[in-house]
Amino acid sequence: MQSILLTQNWEFLYDGKKWYPADVPGCIHTDLLKNKLIPDPFYGCNEYELQWIGERNWTYRKVFHVDRQILKKQHVLLVFDGLDTFVSVYVNGKKLLYARNMFRKWEIYCKDYLQHGDNLLELVFESALNNYQKASEELEYPLPGGKWVLARKAAYHFGWDWGPCFITAGIWQPVYLKCWDNLRLTDLQLFTRNISDQQATIRMQISFQSDGKENASVRVINKSNGELFTEQAFQIDPSAEMVELEFQVADPVLWWTNDLGEPYLYDFQIEIATGSGQLFNRQIAFGIRTIQLERKKDTVGESFRFLLNGVPLFIKGANYIPQHSFVTETDDEAYEKITGDALRSNMNMLRVWGGGIYEKDIFYALCDRKGLLVWQDFMFACAMYPGDDAFAENVAQEVREQIKRLRNHPCIALWCGNNEVDEAWHNWQWQETMNISEKDCDAIWSAYQRIFHQLIPGLVAKLDPDRQYLSSSPVHGWGHEESMTEGDAHYWGVWWGLKPVENYIEKVPRFMSEFGLQAMPTLSTIRQFQDEDQDTLFSKPLQCHQKHPTGYESIQNYLDREFLEPEKLEDYIYMSQLMQMKGIGLAIEVNRTAIPRCMGSLYWQLNDCWPVTSWSAIDANGNWKALQYAVRNLFDDVMVSLIEYDGRVTMSVVSGLLKDADGVVECSLVDFNNDRISLFGEKMTIRAGKACQVIVLDAGKLRAENDLSRMLIEGVFETSDGKRYVNQKFLEPYGKLNLPPAKVKWKVRKAEGGCTIDVSANAFTGHLQLYLAHAHAWFGENFFHLWAGDEKSVFCQTGLSPDAVEQELRLYHMNIHQKTEK
């Protein structure tokens, strides 16, 4: 088998006249930008000026050389790993393909159309918007939701409530020629059949495309130590879909999420030799484990919990969206960073949300390695899709390919049909607002059932029988009582319903798969779209970078409840982040303390695809908002929780450990002078995987006896081997605190990978934030409190020199109305 990469020397036609160099993989927006034909699409309100790009058709071409050796091969395929989206492909002037699905791979037998020497490959991309306009006129009934429903293309490209509308077109994955004689290996899959202490049985499925019958043999070797697992003979038969074999791994080391153990991967080297002398070598990093989603009737309703190797685990994580509006802009380093961020935040799952893309291989490989589970949505979101034969066939092919591509990854925990399609149809009143007739409603719902209740689950059952399928997330909409007693829930009463964050205390579902609050990104990210002289509330660019219809008003609504009054941009950035941390932090605490009733907490949303004010906890440049720093603590293997509700303050310690932990539990009030009043202190054993309620305090009494505007409450669990878990909370709204004037000092010194900042203060300083004015950075700790005399050394991960950091460093804290001096 020979592969010839065709990614170099492409060009695209601009204005019907001139050809410009193009990147493959790439897309029209990035090609226009790199050729300086458009301004930065993310800057200012440029998005609105650049809509014409998505309304046009675009032609790409390339000349490639074919030598005689290739033409001598029996089979020559032209392969596109990804085309975005509606495109006619011509080889030497002959149309060989019309592709119409961004999520599929396209292969064309092209030998008869190739010639020795130069060949011309041309692709004419049709505007996905125009395609929608045309296709929707032919629909028998209206499809509510959005313009993405007729295109098997990333839905967020059409604009989302956190993302711009950039309707891209282009070759977004590699292109190559593949040629071979007689036989090619098309697929190699491993499945864990069963596991005992002594051995694991692995089933191997090998698929070939073959011109005739042949004898063959396969060897499976452990690449890291040369150990031979099996050597078996088999027959290749062109009429059989695949060959199935089994082998054993003795004393298997299991794959665990990072919180429960080691995500151990076997480096299987699989060597296949055929009678006619062909050799195939494949490497699969395989994790031996079982994963189940258990949904069993119980006294509350129905459980919704994951069992990894039989162990129930509380899911800690977030919803993940594509990292860039232009998918090819996300490089390997960005995947390393985001999965690394999830790992260092003590997460064990990411949900790949259905309005984006099936992520690239590297994303899943990194999740395998870092012990992060993946909840994988199929790419359908928030709209009703067609159900005709052509659409169903297109989807079936996509689903088949994606399952086959991803099923070897131990990280994949669940297949989910779509994001909020079921919920939308039943709760978003489309039937009334769009005046859809009963007959059309029936047709729309049967299309839904065809795709999500029949077609996709049928393919999952056939191709990946050990993994479960959930037809839609959430199982019930948040307006329904059942959303709290069974299934997963997207609880949006807070934010969308403008309920106070304390509502999270009452709304505890079985598994919280979405909940969120917006906050502004860090200043250096705002700089990406506006210059310093535009830093006013709310400048035009700030408005263009807020996609929720009442985004800033809703943030203000939450700030008002905390008596926070931002006057300028820096105030708003800081206060909105504080508010987000408080609300989402509270929900996580509540969800975790409700174990085993609630078995998961995935906040909306981990990341962004451009610089924007959104629900993300990590902005588009990788800067962590306050929430993300807090999450690390709240998702730690042990969490201390302090929740005030209904006149009581409850302290709990929640364990995600596999073993019981002995230690000392303490609860105190600490005032801003660092004087302590002990409320509780005892030796305790915290049971593995359980929540332990430590103490319930009378909030009224605490208030009557203390000036809570000058103190915070602190809960600590210190294990007998010295690990400390701490939670500190103000019991008064932020704006009602009586903070002293504070002066913060700092010094910057060199450290490996960045620098160390030593900070100290002359008085209690609340939630001290460190950031760089013009550069992106990650801090080892942030938004922490300092008492007078404390000195903290904070690592700052940056490429800047200590001198530059000294210049760039900005501090913000809750006492800021008092002038901070160096």
CB of 493 to ligand BMA, least distance (A): 12
Q: Kindly state the tokens that stand for 372.
A: 């992060």
Choice from 11, 122, 161, 271 touching ligand BMA (CB under 6 A): 161
Tokens of 100: 């119409």
- Per CB under 6 A, the segment of 54-62, 158-166, 740-748, 762-770 that binds ligand BMA is 158-166
- Whether the Cβ atoms of residue 249 and residue 220 lie closer than 8 Å to each other: no
The radius of gyration of the chain from alpha carbons, rounded to an integer in Å, stands at: 28
The residue among 157 and 729 lying less far from ligand BMA, judged by its C-beta, is 157
* Residue 420 contacts ligand BMA per CB under 6 A: yes
Per-residue contact string for residues 487-516; x = within reach of ligand BMA by CB under 6 A? ---x-----------------------x--
Of the candidate spans 157-165, 239-247, 533-541, 676-684, the one that interacts with ligand BMA by CB under 6 A turns out to be 157-165
Classify 772 as helix, strand or coil. Answer: strand
The yes or no reply on residue 422 touching ligand BMA (CB under 6 A) is: no
Lay out the site mask for ligand BMA across 322-361 (x = CB under 6 A, - = otherwise). Answer: ---------------------------------x------
User: 81-120 mask for ligand BMA (x: CB under 6 A)?
Assistant: ----------------------------------------
CA-wise closest residue to 259 among 345, 333, 178? 345
Which residue's CB is nearer to ligand BMA, number 303 or number 419?
419
Q: How far is the CB of 622 from ligand BMA (least distance, A)?
A: 20
β-bridge mates for residue 661, sequence order: 686
**CB of residue 319 to ligand BMA, shortest distance in Å:** 7
Largest CA distance in the chain: 91
Which residue bears the tokens 């226009």? Answer: 32
Give the tokens for residue 313: 């685990």
Mark residue 563 as left, alpha or beta (left: phi above 0; alpha: psi -120 to 50; beta: remaining).
Answer: left
Closer residue to ligand BMA, CB minimum distance, 473 or 577: 473
Nearer to ligand BMA, 472 or 652 (CB): 472
Nearer to ligand BMA (CB atom), residue 62 or residue 490: 490
Structure tokens at 27: 């897309």
Q: How far is the CB of 38 from ligand BMA (least distance, A)?
A: 27
Nearest to 472 by CA among 430, 437, 530, 514: 514
Contacts of 721 (CB under 8 A, 6+ apart): none
Q: Give how far Cα 676 sits from Cα of 670, 683, 712, Å.
A: 5, 19, 10
**Residues in CB range of 636: below 8 A, 6 or more apart:** 346, 725
Q: Judge contact between 573 and 520, C-beta under 8 A.
A: yes
Which range, of 87-95, 159-167, 389-397, 521-529, touches ligand BMA by CB under 6 A?
Answer: 159-167
Q: Which of 382, 586, 590, 759 binds ligand BMA (CB under 6 A)?
A: 382
**How remote is the C-alpha of 433 from its chain's centroid?**
32
As a whole number of angstroms, the distance between CA 390 and CA 98 comes to 13
Interaxial angle between packed helices 569-593 and 551-561, expressed in degrees from 0 to 180 and rounded to the nearest 10: 70
Q: Which is nearer to ligand BMA, 162 or 552 (CB)?
A: 162
Please identify, among the stretches 156-164, 238-246, 562-570, 778-786, the one whose residues bind ligand BMA according to the rule CB under 6 A: 156-164
**Beta-bridge partner residues of 624:** 618
Residue with smaller CB distance to ligand BMA, 495 or 725: 495
Q: Does 162 bind ligand BMA (CB under 6 A)?
A: yes
**Quick check: helix, strand or coil at residue 630?**
helix
Q: Which of 80, 160, 335, 812 binds ligand BMA (CB under 6 A)?
A: 160
Residue type, 510: R
> Residues of 132-159 as b/e, b for ≥16 C-beta within 10 angstroms?
beeeeeeeebebbbbbbbbbbbbbbbbb
Rounded to a whole number of angstroms, the minimum distance from the CB of residue 608 to ligand BMA is: 11
The site for ligand BMA, by CB under 6 A, has a size of: 11
Question: Among residues 161 and 336, whose Cβ is nearest to ligand BMA?
Answer: 161
Q: Which is nearer to ligand BMA, 419 or 769 (CB)?
A: 419
Instruction: Give residues with Cβ within 8 angstroms of 107, minimum separation 6.
Output: 77, 78, 79, 80, 178
The span of 154-162, 265-273, 425-433, 460-468 binding ligand BMA (CB under 6 A) equals 154-162
Which CB sits closer to ligand BMA, 161 or 781?
Answer: 161
Which one of the spans 55-63, 160-168, 206-214, 218-226 is the region binding ligand BMA (CB under 6 A)? Answer: 160-168
Residue-wise burial string across 618-635, b where 16 or more C-beta atoms lie within 10 A, e elsewhere: bbbbbbbbbbbbbbebbb
From the list 374, 355, 375, 483, the residue with the least C-alpha distance to 423 is: 483
Contact present, 775 and 810 (Cβ < 8 Å):
no
Of 295, 196, 181, nearest to 249 (Cα)?
196
Q: Give the residue with the Cβ less far from ligand BMA, 155 or 759.
A: 155
CA distance 97 to 83: 11
What residues contact residue 729 under an 8 Å CB cut-off, 6+ apart?
642, 644, 712, 713, 714
Instruction: Pick one of 148, 180, 504, 604: the residue that binds ligand BMA (CB under 6 A).
Output: 604
Termini Cα distance of the chain = 66
Find the shortest distance in angstroms from Cβ 393 to ligand BMA: 27
Q: Binder to ligand BMA among 419, 483, 528, 577 (CB under 6 A)?
A: 419
Binding residues among 666-705 for ligand BMA as defined by CB under 6 A: none
State the nearest-atom distance from the C-beta of 739 to ligand BMA, in Å.
33
For ligand BMA, the closer CB: 162 or 380: 162
- Give 581 or 651: the residue with its C-beta nearer to ligand BMA: 581
Closest approach, Cβ 604 to ligand BMA, in A, equals 5
Coil, strand or helix: which one is 599?
coil
416 or 713: whose CB is closer to ligand BMA?
416
Q: Shortest gap between Cβ of 321 and ligand BMA (angstroms)?
A: 8
The least CB distance from residue 162 to ligand BMA, in Å, is 5
Amino acid found at 741: P
List residues binding ligand BMA (CB under 6 A): 160-162, 355, 382, 419-420, 490, 514, 604, 615
